[in-house]
Amino acid sequence: MINRHKIREYALQTLFAVDANPDVDQQALMASLVASPGKETALPAYLLKLVNGVQADLPALDELIQQHLSTDWSLNRLAKTDLVILRLALYEMLKVPEIPAKVAVDEALELAKDYSDEHSRKFINGVLAAVIRQRHLA
């Protein structure tokens, strides 16, 4: 059984790869990430929900992120890892009612700890906190 934290990590890796190369075989990539040696592992439904949901809501998620960037910053200036972490967290906060906003933020910060740096963690936390205040999600 794959836990939700690991699923979020796989979603981050998948979305990052697709962002870098839109022609990547997304299903094969996810299958290789979740594969256990010697066993056939089905793709977790929550992984599919996250990846497909973020992709379907990409314009709205990016617009929301852009609203919380300072005027001299754009999405293109963000580290791709940070952008994908923000998209994932915002999708969970806004579209997955069973996940409390605090859990989505904590998970995003854990991903940033593993895949980014301290400056990025603070930035991600700031953007997500601003969205929580704006949307009254707390």
108-118 pLDDT, tens digit per residue, is: 999 999 999 99
Residue type, 15: L
Residues 67-75 have a mean pLDDT of: 89
Confidence of residue 137 (pLDDT cuts 50, 70, 90): confident
Helix (H, G, I), strand (E, B) or coil at 66: helix
pTM of model > 0.85: yes
**For the chain, how many structural domains are there in total?**
1
* Domain around 74: 4-135
- Cβ atoms of 109 and 125 within 8 Å: the answer is yes
Distance CA 102, CA 70 (A): 24
Give the model's pLDDT for residue 135.
87
CATH number at residue 93: 1.10.940.10
Can you say whether the dihedral through the CA atoms of 32, 33, 34, 37 is positive or negative? Answer: positive
> Looking at the predicted structure, is the pLDDT value of residue 38 above 80?
no
Average pLDDT over residues 76-98: 96
